[in-house]
Amino acid sequence: MADENWKPKIVAIICNWCSYAGADLAGSARTQYPPDIRAIRVMCTGRIDPLFIMKAFQDGADGVLVSGCHFGDCHYLEGNYKAAKRMFLLKSVLKNIGLEDKRLRMTFVSASEGAKWATVMEDVVKTVTELGPSPLGESAR
Amino acid sequence: MAELKKKEEPKIGVFVCHCGTNIAGSIDIKAVMEYAKTLPNVAIADDYQYMCSTPGQNKVVEAIEEHKLTGVVVAACSPRLHEPTFRGATKLGGLNPFRFEMANIREQNSWVHMHQPEEATEKAKDAVRIAVAKASLLEDLIPKSVPVEQAAMVVGGGVGGMQAALDLANAGIKTYLIEKEPSIGGRMSQLDKTFPTLDCSQCILTPKMVDVARNENIELLTYTEVEAVEGYIGNFDVTLRKKARGVLTTEEAEARGFVGGGCNGCGDCEDVCPVIRPNPFELGMAPMKAIYVYHPQVSPLLYTIDFDSCVKCNLCVDICGDKKAIDLNAVDEFETVKVGSIILATGYDIFPIEEKHEWGYKNYDNVITSLEFERLICASGPTGGHLIRPSDGAVPKKIAFVLCAGSRDNTGVGKPYCSRFCCMYSLKHAHQIIEKIPGAVPYIFYMDIRSFGKMYEEFYYRIQDEGAKFIRGRVANILEDPVTKNLHVNAEDTLLGRPIDMEVDMVVLAAAVQPSAQTEATRRLFGVSCSQDGWLLEAHPKLNPCGTTTAGVYLAGVCQGPKDIPDTVAQAEGAASAASIPIHRGEVELEPYFAVCLEDICAGCGMCINLCPYQALSLIEKDGRTVMHVTEAKCKGCGTCGGFCPGGAIWMQHFTTPQIVAQIDAFLLGGEQ
Ligand code: FES
């Protein structure tokens, strides 16, 4: 790893009804977690166009997290199933272009799982930190 | 889109909230505010102690006018809390309310990075930059108003559901009350007395059941379950499964041409029925025929056939004779009703306490649950109100009560939460045996006595004075004497600091409560979330305890979390009031997040059509081309179509592709792009 003070840049695209609410709950409970992730709110993970994720990596993101409701709990019935399928495909695309597929992660965090959200944050930051800077990072800037 | 082409110079106002020290305690507000001023498109940046207060909101209103803003960003708490507030301020300033964007720097920043002020401040700057990028691309949106169906539905006919239905009906609203069992009344109808007043449960419940049955605005549907739910606030289509009852009401009989026929509750059929099975209402402690009513107070007074045990011998049909009330070939029927709002009041079940093997429930005859105690002490129960030992019918004199049985239990078997009403009903049970059985002594094994309600603590003192013995300590195990069937209760008296081995005649376990068996299926039908322990999740624990995140669906009673009867009734009245609001207003505004087809780009491939869970999309011919068309009234705005469209031809309002990409770029490439 280049520099031990290096901090990853991670984008989280999360659904309004479950994961965003879960993240808020972690806040109300003052559960502390690493500050390296920036969240973008969409109504449902079904909204997430693979383009958004490719754009994030192209812009130099070191990791992308997609987080939605548990299967069966999506506010719009099945958006998360569609998203999960897309993420699955996208992971193989990432491999093909030479990015570690672990840089993309999909999780399911419900509105009552504040503690789980914090664990996911820790986990994602740890995984991406171990992977180090994205090889696309330099060219982006 | 017209808005797309119309180029306007974005002018954004940024307002950073201190939220007292909630945000300012770990984020350098001035630094964030000064940083915002350097961002492209930002015309003004300001900060304030409490942005949500009147002076705070006025800052937004005034800045919009003074700086001719095109968009507003407030960096404060979660949009799930105050987005509506600041949309209101944005509107007041003369802008379309959807020109507002919130940066969450409290729940997802200052509160979770309390000891990392530098990182938190950097994260807040990023959040503001991301929000400004989105705000620069926001458009005017007009929410659509839809008329509200002038009817409501309550699911669950316990005391909470009944109260909610009565309130709605008395407010003039047609209300469907759905109950899965053959009679309304719920858990409360199984209780003998209620604490701390010692009112007889039936005496206060039965008049309510009669009111429900007689109320012209209530359509009571017992032995009925929810099969499917479609639609949204104001316009729900609920499909009901009316389970085959096998017995006709007078109206149903008349409809079949048997005038004067139908069930009159005479009970002759029950007498001749040869099938005997355990009575679920009496928790298996009494027999029941295949054709049955639960108890004499049932409402409606109408027999029901349990087709799982019925042998179709026809004896009941013969004895019913000319009333022709019995139809052994009945099948489930389905009906769809339209309602504007819905209250869930699906109640609770008792935790299967036999899973705590150490207490021997179901292995030892004389270990019973509190609900079984209620039936045994109740005058209308299987023993006529005489408390006896199941093993030998003897009257118990020394009775141990085990509180928190399976509640406040982190062992993995049991529930971590407090079931909330067990302390109080156990005190009541202690009172009842002292009153009914001369010389009987209750021994109450407790962790803490939680007597939180009005007159509860006084009731606790009263029971102490009456001679109940209290032992502070959790019961480790219970062993049965195989000859006498007496029980040895082993515990530690934590006040005296010594172990106890007490021989008693009977043990009553105050078992934990858990969401009723069908809660999980029901909540999924209605799109309601649950907390980790399975209770239905309220929209906000303090400020919206009756609402859910699904607009138009409300909660009442224990389905939302353990509570006693007064709290259940109070919440039911709250839920009824909330559920009546959209109905009385007559129309609701839906968030205008629906999909729009960019017809110039749409290739008419139709890939999106099957992705839509609401059948809102179709292909139409327009100017000689095939393009996709959105039925706005059906679209709920999830964006699943927009996340897929290979040509980028779907414009998801308020979450457009340019807006989201701008947010991503703003974070990763900085504001200067
Ligand atoms: S709403 Fe959360 S994933 Fe669909």
Query: Which of B80, B120, B529 is opposite residue A112, by nearest beta carbon?
Result: B529
For residues A99-118, one letter each, b for 16 or more C-beta atoms within 10 angstroms of the residue's C-beta and e for the rest, the string is: bbeebbbbbbbbbbbbbbbb
Query: Which of A35, A48, A111 is opposite residue B123, by nearest beta carbon?
Result: A35
pLDDT bracket for residue A77 (50, 70, 90): confident
CB contact set of B608 (below 8 Å; sequence gap of 6+): B617, B628, B641, B644, B645, B650
Nearest CA to B151 among B180, B179, B167, B172?
A: B172
CA of A20 to the centre of ligand 1 (A): 10
If one counts every other C-beta atom within 10 angstroms of the C-beta of residue B534, the result is: 15
Amino acid at position B521, single letter: A
- How buried is B54 (Cβ within 10 angstroms: 0-12 exposed, 13-18 middle, 19+ buried)? exposed
What's the residue count for chain A?
Answer: 141
Tokens in use for B311?
Answer: 């042998």
Tokens in use for B359?
Answer: 């207490």
Beta carbons of B1 and B48 less than 8 angstroms apart: no
Whether residues B371 and B478 share a domain: the answer is yes
Beta carbons of A22 and A116 less than 8 angstroms apart: yes
Pairing label, strands B224-232, B235-242 = antiparallel
CB contact set of B144 (below 8 Å; sequence gap of 6+): B589, B590, B592, B594, B632, B633
**Residue B634: per-residue pLDDT:** 83
In a domain, B208, yes or no: yes
Q: What does the DSSP 8-state code read for residue B412?
A: S
CA of B637 to the centre of ligand 1 (A): 11
CA of B81 to the centre of ligand 1 (A): 19
In a domain, B552, yes or no: yes
B117 preceded by a cis bond (ω within 30 of 0): no
If one counts every other C-beta atom within 10 angstroms of the C-beta of residue B327, the result is: 17
For Cα atoms B322, B328, B329, give the angle at the middle one, nearest 5 degrees: 120
Tokens in use for A45?
Answer: 């993970």
Tokens in use for B78?
Answer: 């979660």
Rounded to the nearest 5°, which phi and psi values hold at A135?
A: -60, -20
In a domain, B34, yes or no: yes
Q: Closest ligand 1 atom to the C-alpha of A19?
A: 2
Nearest CA to B408 among B420, B400, B399, B397?
A: B420
Q: What residues are paired with B559 via a beta bridge?
A: none
Tokens in use for A133?
Answer: 């800077």
CA of A73 to the centre of ligand 1 (A): 7
CB contact set of B541 (below 8 Å; sequence gap of 6+): none
A22 Cβ closer than 6 Å to some ligand 1 atom: no
* pLDDT, mean of residues A35-57: 96
Tokens in use for B34?
Answer: 């000064």
Pairing label, strands B348-350, B487-493 = unpaired
Please give the residue of chain B at the shortest CA–CA distance from A12. Answer: B664
How far apart CA B443 and CA B403 sit, in angstroms, is 11
Beta carbons of B281 and B245 less than 8 angstroms apart: no
Report helix, strand or coil for B400: strand
Q: Which of A42, A90, A136 to mutate to test the interface with B (most CBs of B within 10 A)?
A: A42
Contact residues, A window 11-50, toward B, CB-based 8 Å cutoff: 11, 13, 16-18, 20-21, 23-24, 26-28, 30-33, 35, 38-44, 46-49
Whether residues B297 and B434 share a domain: the answer is no
Domain count, chain B: 5
Query: Which of B114, B549, B668 is opposite residue A140, by nearest beta carbon?
Result: B668
If one counts every other C-beta atom within 10 angstroms of the C-beta of residue B295, the result is: 17
Amino acid at position B173, single letter: I
Concatenating the DSSP letter of every residue in B430-475 gives: HHHHHHHSTT-EEEEEES-----STTHHHHHHHHHHHT-EEEES-E
For residues B593-623, one letter each, b for 16 or more C-beta atoms within 10 angstroms of the residue's C-beta and e for the rest, the string is: bbbbbbbeebebeeebeebbbbebbeeeeee
The rounded Cα B70 to chain-centroid distance in angstroms is 40
Whether residues B111 and B172 share a domain: the answer is no
Q: Which residue reads 């349990």 in tokens? A: B306
How far apart CA B182 and CA B242 sit, in angstroms, is 11
Size of interface A-B (CB pairs under 8 A): 159
Whether residues B113 and B162 share a domain: the answer is no
CB contact set of B539 (below 8 Å; sequence gap of 6+): B547, B548, B549
Write out chain A residues lying below 8 Å of B531, CB-based.
Answer: 112
What are the percentages of helix, strand and coil residues in chain A, rounded to 5?
A: 45, 15, 40
pLDDT along chain B (673 residues), means of 10: 62 97 96 96 96 96 96 96 95 97 97 96 97 96 93 98 98 98 95 95 94 97 95 94 95 90 93 95 94 88 95 95 93 97 97 97 97 95 94 96 96 96 97 96 97 95 97 96 97 95 97 95 90 91 90 96 97 98 94 93 93 91 94 88 93 96 94 45
Whether residues B375 and B451 share a domain: the answer is yes
ipTM (interface predicted TM) = 0.96
Nearest CA to B646 among B617, B588, B609, B607?
A: B607
Query: Which of A24, A40, A77 is opposite residue B80, by nearest beta carbon?
Result: A24
* Whole-Å CA distances, B203 to B193, B210, B435, B525: 9, 12, 20, 35
Provide the greatest CA pair distance for chain A.
Answer: 44
Nearest-CA distance from B640 to chain A in Å? 4
Beta carbons of A140 and A60 less than 8 angstroms apart: yes
Instruction: Count CA atoms within 13 Å of residue B342 on its CB side.
Output: 30
Tell me, yes or no, if A106 comes closer than 8 A to chain B by beta carbon. no
**Residue B6: per-residue pLDDT:** 55
Whether residues B214 and B260 share a domain: the answer is no
Pick A10-140's CATH classification: 1.10.3470, 1.10.287, 3.40.50, 2.60.40: 3.40.50
What's the CATH number where B601 sits? Answer: 3.30.70.20
Nearest CA to B403 among B483, B463, B458?
A: B463
* Whole-Å CA distances, B187 to B98, B193, B201, B424: 47, 12, 10, 16
Instruction: Count CA atoms within 13 Å of residue B313 on its CB side.
Output: 15
- Domain end among B458, B481, B514: B514
In a domain, B671, yes or no: no
Query: Which of B114, B130, B668 is opposite residue A30, by nearest beta carbon?
Result: B114
Amino acid at position A94, single letter: L
Tell me, yes or no, if A51 comes closer than 8 A to chain B by beta carbon. yes
How far apart CA B94 and CA B68 sit, in angstroms, is 10
**Residue A140: per-residue pLDDT:** 60
Tell me, yes or no, if A81 comes closer than 8 A to chain B by beta carbon. no
Tell me, yes or no, if A59 comes closer than 8 A to chain B by beta carbon. yes
**Residue A102: per-residue pLDDT:** 96
How far apart CA B94 and CA B55 sit, in angstroms, is 17
Which residue among A13, A14, A24, A44 is best mutated to probe the pocket of ligand 1, counting the most ligand atoms within 8 A of its Cβ?
A44
Amino acid at position A49, single letter: D
Beta carbons of B404 and B424 less than 8 angstroms apart: no
Nearest CA to B304 among B321, B289, B284?
A: B289
Nearest CA to B15 among B95, B132, B96?
A: B132
How far apart CA B209 and CA B223 sit, in angstroms, is 15
If one counts every other C-beta atom within 10 angstroms of the C-beta of residue B46, the result is: 17
- Domain end among B514, B539, B562: B514
Pairing label, strands A104-108, B367-369 = unpaired
How far apart CA B52 and CA B136 sit, in angstroms, is 22
In a domain, B639, yes or no: yes
A66 Cβ closer than 6 Å to some ligand 1 atom: no
Pairing label, strands B193-194, B174-178 = unpaired
Whether residues B105 and B67 share a domain: the answer is yes
Beta carbons of B171 and B401 less than 8 angstroms apart: no
**Residue B1: per-residue pLDDT:** 45
The residue range of the domain holding B637 is 591-653
Beta carbons of B51 and B23 less than 8 angstroms apart: no
Q: What residues are paired with B305 via a beta bridge?
A: B291
How far apart CA B177 and CA B219 sit, in angstroms, is 6
Amino acid at position B224, single letter: T
What's the CATH number where B76 sits? Answer: 3.40.50
**Residue B311: per-residue pLDDT:** 95
Concatenating the DSSP letter of every residue in B360-375 gives: -BTTBTTEEEHHHHHH
Nearest CA to B131 among B12, B46, B22?
A: B12
Whether residues B355 and B502 share a domain: the answer is yes
Nearest CA to B521 among B229, B194, B133?
A: B229
- How buried is B214 (Cβ within 10 angstroms: 0-12 exposed, 13-18 middle, 19+ buried)? exposed
Please give the residue of chain A at the shortest CA–CA distance from B126. Answer: A38
Whether residues B300 and B408 share a domain: the answer is no
CA of A70 to the centre of ligand 1 (A): 8
B196 preceded by a cis bond (ω within 30 of 0): yes
Tokens in use for B276?
Answer: 């005997």
CA of B639 to the centre of ligand 1 (A): 10
